[in-house]
A and B are shown apart, each in its own frame.
Chain A
Amino acid sequence: MSGLYGRLSIAGKQAVWAWAFLALPVLFYVVIRFWPTADSFLISFYSWNLLGTPRFVGLDNYVRMWSDPTFWLVFRNTFEYLIIGTPVSIVVAFVIAYYLDQVRFAHGLIRALYFIPFMTTAVAMAWVWRWFYQPVPIGVFNNLLSELDLPTQPFLRSTEQALPSVLAPAIWAGLGFQVVIFLAGLRAIPESYYEAARIDGAGKWMILRRITIPLLRPTVVFLVVISSIGFLRIFDQVFNMTDGSGGPLNSTKPLVLYIYETAFQSYQMGYAAAQTVVLFTILLLITLLQLWLLRSK
Chain B
Amino acid sequence: MLRRFGRAMAAAAVGIAVAWGGSASAQQKVTIEYWQYFFQQRVTAVDKLIAEFKKQNPDIEVVHNHFPYADYRTKVAAAIPAGQGPDVVQLFYGWLDDYIREKLIQPLPAAQFPIAEMEQRYFPIVQAMKRDGQYYAVPTAVRSLALFWNKRLYREAGLDPEKPPQTLDEMVEHAKKIVKRDRNGNVTTAGMTIDMTAQDHHWIREVLIRQFGGAPYSADSRKVTYDSDAGRKALQFYVDLQRVHQVGTNGFMDESQAAFRAGRAGIHLDGSFRLGALQNQRGLEWGVTELPAQDGKRSNFASYWVNAVTSKATGPKAEAAAKFLQFMVSDAAMQLWLAETGELPAAKAAALSPANLAHPLYGPFIRGLDYAAATEFVNETAQRQILIDAVDRVLLKNQSVADSVKEAAAAEQKLLDDHHRK
Tell me, yes or no, whether A and B come into direct contact in the complex with CB atoms closer than 8 A.
yes
Q: What residues of A have a CB within 8 angstroms of the CB of B73 in the complex?
A: 265
CB interface residues, A 127-145, toward B, < 8 Å: 134-138, 142
Q: What residues of A have a CB within 8 angstroms of the CB of B253 in the complex?
A: 134-135, 137-138
The contact of A152 among B186, B264, B393, by CB within 8 Å, is B186
Q: What residues of A have a CB within 8 angstroms of the CB of B186 in the complex?
A: 135-137, 142, 146, 152
Q: What residues of A have a CB within 8 angstroms of the CB of B251 in the complex?
A: 134-135, 156-157
- Hey, what's the 0/1 contact readout for B44-77 against A, CB within 8 Å counting as 1? 0000000000000000000000000010011001
Number of interface residues of B (CB under 8 A): 30
Of B199-207, B312-320, B381-389, the segment with at least 4 beta carbons within 8 Å of chain A is B381-389
Do B392 and A249 touch (CB < 8 A)? Answer: yes
CB interface residues, A 16-55, toward B, < 8 Å: 50-51
Do B81 and A247 touch (CB < 8 A)? Answer: no
The contact of B397 among A50, A149, A159, by CB within 8 Å, is A159
The contact of B81 among A50, A159, A243, by CB within 8 Å, is A50
Q: What residues of B have a CB within 8 angstroms of the CB of A151 in the complex?
A: 184
Q: What residues of B have a CB within 8 angstroms of the CB of A135 in the complex?
A: 186-187, 249, 251-253
Q: What residues of A have a CB within 8 angstroms of the CB of B250 in the complex?
A: 157
Say yes or no for A264: interface residue by CB 8 A criterion. yes
- Hey, what's the 0/1 contact readout for B237-271 against A, CB within 8 Å counting as 1? 00000000000011111100000000010000000
- Hey, what's the 0/1 contact readout for A163-180 against B, CB within 8 Å counting as 1? 000000000000000000
Say yes or no for B197: interface residue by CB 8 A criterion. yes
Q: How far is the CB of A267 from chain B (nearest CB, A)?
A: 7
Q: What residues of A have a CB within 8 angstroms of the CB of B70 in the complex?
A: 243-244
Given A51-B102, A136-B188, A157-B251, is A248 in contact with B392 using a C-beta cutoff of 8 Å?
A: yes
Q: What residues of A have a CB within 8 angstroms of the CB of B102 in the complex?
A: 51
- Hey, what's the 0/1 contact readout for B351-387 against A, CB within 8 Å counting as 1? 0000000000000000000000000000001000100
Q: How far is the CB of A175 from chain B (nearest CB, A)?
A: 27
- In Å, the complex CA distance between A153 and B413 comes to 35
Do A249 and B182 touch (CB < 8 A)? Answer: no
Q: What residues of A have a CB within 8 angstroms of the CB of B392 in the complex?
A: 159, 247-249
Say yes or no for A245: interface residue by CB 8 A criterion. yes
Give the residue name and chain of the B residue nearest to A150 (CB).
Answer: B184
Given A136-B186, A152-B184, is A264 in contact with B389 using a C-beta cutoff of 8 Å?
A: no
Give the residue name and chain of the A residue nearest to B75 (CB).
Answer: A264
Say yes or no for A14: interface residue by CB 8 A criterion. no
- In Å, the complex CA distance between A265 and B70 comes to 10
Q: What residues of B have a CB within 8 angstroms of the CB of A243 in the complex?
A: 70, 197
- Hey, what's the 0/1 contact readout for B144-184 against A, CB within 8 Å counting as 1? 00000000000000000000000000000000000000111
Give the residue name and chain of the B residue nearest to A145 (CB).
Answer: B184
Give the residue name and chain of the A residue nearest to B70 (CB).
Answer: A244
Q: How far is the CB of B179 from chain A (nearest CB, A)?
A: 13
Say yes or no for A120: interface residue by CB 8 A criterion. no
Q: What residues of B have a CB within 8 angstroms of the CB of A51 in the complex?
A: 81, 102-103
- Hey, what's the 0/1 contact readout for B218-237 against A, CB within 8 Å counting as 1? 00000000000000000000
Q: What residues of B have a CB within 8 angstroms of the CB of A281 in the complex?
A: none
The contact of A249 among B74, B188, B252, B389, by CB within 8 Å, is B389
Say yes or no for B396: interface residue by CB 8 A criterion. yes
- In Å, the complex CA distance between A134 and B187 comes to 12
CB interface residues, B 91-127, toward A, < 8 Å: 102-103
Do A264 and B74 touch (CB < 8 A)? Answer: yes
Q: What residues of B have a CB within 8 angstroms of the CB of A149 in the complex?
A: 183-184
Q: How far is the CB of A234 from chain B (nearest CB, A)?
A: 19
Say yes or no for B78: interface residue by CB 8 A criterion. yes
Max chain B Cβ within 10 angstroms of own Cβ: one of A136, A142, A151, A157: A136
Do B184 and A146 touch (CB < 8 A)? Answer: yes
Q: How far is the CB of B262 from chain A (nearest CB, A)?
A: 9
Q: What residues of B have a CB within 8 angstroms of the CB of A138 in the complex?
A: 253-254
Do A265 and B74 touch (CB < 8 A)? Answer: yes
Do B264 and A249 touch (CB < 8 A)? Answer: no
Q: How far is the CB of A199 from chain B (nearest CB, A)?
A: 59
Do A136 and B187 touch (CB < 8 A)? Answer: yes
Q: What residues of A have a CB within 8 angstroms of the CB of B77 in the complex?
A: 50, 267
Do B254 and A265 touch (CB < 8 A)? Answer: no
Q: How far is the CB of B195 from chain A (nearest CB, A)?
A: 11
- In Å, the complex CA distance between A264 and B197 comes to 21
The contact of A137 among B74, B103, B264, B396, by CB within 8 Å, is B264
Q: How far is the CB of A151 from chain B (nearest CB, A)?
A: 7
Given A136-B187, A243-B197, A264-B78, is A249 in contact with B249 using a C-beta cutoff of 8 Å?
A: no
28 A-B Cβ contacts within 8 A? A50-B78, A135-B249, A135-B251, A136-B182, A136-B186, A136-B187, A136-B188, A137-B253, A137-B264, A138-B253, A142-B186, A146-B184, A146-B186, A149-B184, A151-B184, A152-B184, A157-B396, A159-B397, A243-B70, A245-B385, A247-B389, A248-B392, A249-B393, A264-B74, A264-B78, A265-B73, A265-B381, A267-B77
A146-B186, A149-B183 known; 6 new pairs, CB 8 Å cut-off, are A51-B103, A134-B251, A146-B182, A149-B184, A152-B184, A157-B250
Interchain residue pairs A-B with the least CB separation, the first 10: A136-B186, A157-B251, A248-B392, A137-B188, A249-B392, A159-B396, A51-B102, A244-B70, A152-B186, A146-B184
A residues in contact (CB < 8 Å) with B: 50-51, 134-138, 142, 146, 149, 151-152, 156-159, 243-245, 247-249, 264-265, 267
